[in-house]
Structures are given as C-alpha cells and as structure tokens.
C-alpha cells in the first residue's frame, strides 16, 4: 500500500549531552576494573523506568499528542530536521487511533479490535484489513504488512517495561529537569546494542515527556526525538472514535510495504 505512516525510531536515543554526561561520569569515577553488565544497570534508573511503564500499562484509556523530530542528511552535509505531530487515542485492550495531520503527508490509522484501517486524505486512498485481537499484535501486523510504525510504540504496548528493558546494557540516572514538558522530570539514560537513549519522565505523574535517541550504528549520529504532551489517562472515549468517518468514496487499495520488489532473476521464467 502506498499509504505510509512515517517510520520513526523508537526508544533509542542518546543525545550528545547524554554522551557528554557518560564521558564526564566515567572520568570522575573511573573504576580500576571494567564494571560488569549488571553493575551498569542502576536500580534507581530501572525503578523510574518501571514506574513509568506501570503507569502506562495500568491506564484503561489514554490520549496524548506526540511530536516527532528527526534528522536526515542534506546534500551539503549538515542534517535537515523534519517534524510530525500525531494525536493518539487508546482504549485497552484493543483499540487505537492515530491521526497525523502533518508535517508531511497527512494520514489516519484506526484499529478497533477486529480490523485496521489506514487512510490518506490527500490521495483519498484507504486500506482495510482484518486484524488480531490485541494492540501489540495489530501493531506488529501493521508493520509487517505495510511498514507502518509509530515512534511512540513503546508507550502504547501492553508491557512497556518489557519492551524497553529487554537487552539493556546500561541504565543510569542523569538528574532532574525543570524545563521539559513544563514540569519537573527525572532524566535517565538507556543503552543497548542498537541505541543510546535519554528519557525524561514526569517526577509527579510518572509519564514520559520526551525521548531522544541516536542509533549506535549510525556514523552520522543523527538525532531522533519524540515529545509527549496533553496527557489524559482514564478519560471517557466516545464509542465511534475508532471508526474512520471520512473514507466513504475513497479508493480502496491493499496494504503493502513501500519497498520495491526485487528484480526478477534472469533465470526466472516469465
């Protein structure tokens, strides 16, 4: 399918600031021997992460706004920055709506426990498919069948802690901020084999406020960031929220991944 919900990153991240903090901390407390993997996982950092995850998992419903910023190389070298905004509505265990009005192509995503619908208003194209019965499985199906991926996936899955903590090599407390999200947040750093990540967690409400990431195998160290705002937990959600209302008259197309199909081998028969 040509409808493309912009692929983001996920829980990745570590900013240059984070790297600087890592280096500074290392210089100040240089151990005589390399710490083991267990020693790199600070209990307080894991506690903050787990509390945030439990708060999200316990919410019967949630709405929030996600602002995603990501860098992409320009022709002359320095990266360009692109931003998208998404309005997210979730009702556990099996309903999710993501409205992305811009920047970039606008798109809408609906999951109602039985089917997935993706709609592109500009092209007036719609794709609908039967779906599994959980949000986690539906998100996996959306990615497998159409490369649909949301950078805030770790926030809406059934067990955020399991998804984020799996494979962690480092977790450490950085300190507190009074700036991000207009509230006091606890900052933690997370590292696995793929990403450096810095996460800001509300000190009072335990909700994620920002995630900033750099992929470790990216030589350009491009930065990816997701901000969260307008959090509402356990509010009433209208029954028709998870059904598309503008797709009547839209051209129906099947879900398909955007990657080009491989060229046929010369030995392939026509």
What is the chain's pLDDT, residue by residue, as a tens digit (270 residues)?
A: 444 333 333 333 222 222 223 333 333 344 445 555 555 899 999 999 999 999 999 999 999 999 999 999 999 989 999 999 999 999 999 999 999 997 878 999 999 999 999 999 999 999 999 999 999 999 999 999 999 989 999 999 999 999 999 999 999 999 999 999 899 999 999 999 999 999 999 999 999 999 999 999 999 899 999 999 999 999 999 989 999 988 989 999 999 887 766 666 666 555
Ranges of H-type helices in the chain:
16-28, 43-58, 135-146, 153-156, 160-165
18 torsion bin: left (phi>0), alpha (psi -120 to 50), beta (else)? alpha
- pTM of the predicted model over 0.85: no
211 DSSP β-pair partners: 199, 226
Report the alpha-carbon distance of residue 267 to residue 264 in Å, rounded. Answer: 8
- pLDDT confidence of residue 37: 52
Kindly tell me the burial class for residue 57, based on how many C-beta atoms sit within 10 Å of its own C-beta (0-12, 13-18, 19 or more).
middle
C-alpha count within 13 angstroms, C-beta hemisphere, residue 189: 21
Kindly tell me the burial class for residue 219, based on how many C-beta atoms sit within 10 Å of its own C-beta (0-12, 13-18, 19 or more).
exposed
């Amino acid at each position: 399918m040509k409808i493309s919900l912009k692929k983001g990153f996920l829980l990745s991240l570590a900013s240059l600031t984070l790297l600087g903090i890592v280096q500074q901390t290392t210089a100040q407390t240089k151990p005589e021997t390399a710490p083991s993997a267990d020693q790199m996982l600070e209990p307080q950092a894991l506690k903050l992460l787990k509390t945030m995850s439990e708060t999200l998992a316990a919410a019967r419903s949630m709405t929030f706004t996600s602002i995603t910023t990501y860098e992409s190389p320009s022709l002359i070298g320095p990266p360009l920055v692109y931003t998208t905004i998404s309005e997210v509505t979730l009702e556990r265990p099996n309903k999710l709506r993501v409205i992305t009005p811009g920047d970039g192509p606008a798109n809408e995503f609906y999951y109602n426990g039985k089917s997935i619908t993706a709609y592109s208003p500009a092209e007036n194209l719609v794709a609908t498919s039967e779906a599994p019965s959980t949000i986690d499985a539906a998100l996996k199906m959306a990615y497998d069948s159409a490369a649909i991926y949301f950078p805030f996936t770790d926030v809406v899955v059934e067990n955020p802690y399991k998804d984020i903590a799996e494979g962690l090599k480092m977790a450490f407390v950085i300190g507190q901020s009074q700036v991000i999200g207009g509230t006091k947040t606890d900052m933690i750093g997370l590292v696995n084999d793929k990403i450096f990540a810095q996460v800001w967690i509300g000190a009072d409400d335990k909700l994620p406020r920002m995630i900033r990431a750099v992929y470790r195998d990216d030589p350009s160290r491009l930065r990816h960031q997701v901000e969260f705002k307008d959090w509402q937990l356990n509010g009433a959600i209208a029954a028709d929220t998870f059904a598309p209302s503008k797709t009547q008259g839209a051209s129906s197309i099947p879900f398909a991944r955007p990657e080009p199909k491989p060229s046929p081998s010369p030995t392939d028969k026509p």
